[in-house]
Amino acid sequence: METDRVSIEQFVKENRIAIQSAEMVDRNPNMSDSQMDHWKVTLKARGRSSLTLYFSKGYGHNGASPEVAEVLNCLASESSGTDQDFADWCSDLGYDTDSREAERLYKVCLHQAGRLRRFLGDEQHERLLYHVDH
């Protein structure tokens, strides 16, 4: 596997990843924070099936559509901690292990990480998480 570090922009270009659609929606079912702009985004990569997911960003962006790099950066960040158990994940992110909300978020991250891995394939998923400058 390629281990040289690349920028997120280079990774996007090499994998021909694009936003196929981005629709502003009222809420992100994976988040409790409503003080954001919420999007339903569909990513498409060369020859691969698409990946549809919810993505949110602060109101300070004034409704600007998400860009591929920021969606992938967010997915990579959320996915990178899912190789550890719940207790370690909580410790790293400052959550209480007795929190039902923390457990729900951990499960959302696990689910999204699996979907991202299937979308990119094992090799490119690993590369995005550990060999791309975010």
Kindly write down the DSSP assignment for every residue of 20-40, as one continuous string. Answer: EEEEEES--TT-S--SEEEEE
The answer to whether 99 and 75 are in contact (CB under 8 A) is no
Encoded tokens for 2? 């390629």
Q: Token pair for residue 26?
A: 């009222």
Count CB atoms within 10 A of the CB of residue 35.
Answer: 7
* pTM, 2 dp: 0.88
d(Cα 96, Cα 119) in Å, to the nearest integer?
A: 31
91 — pLDDT class (breaks 50, 70, 90): very high
Tell me the per-residue pLDDT of 108-118, one tens digit each, with 9 for 90 and over.
Answer: 999 999 999 99
Residue 81 has pLDDT above 90, yes or no: no
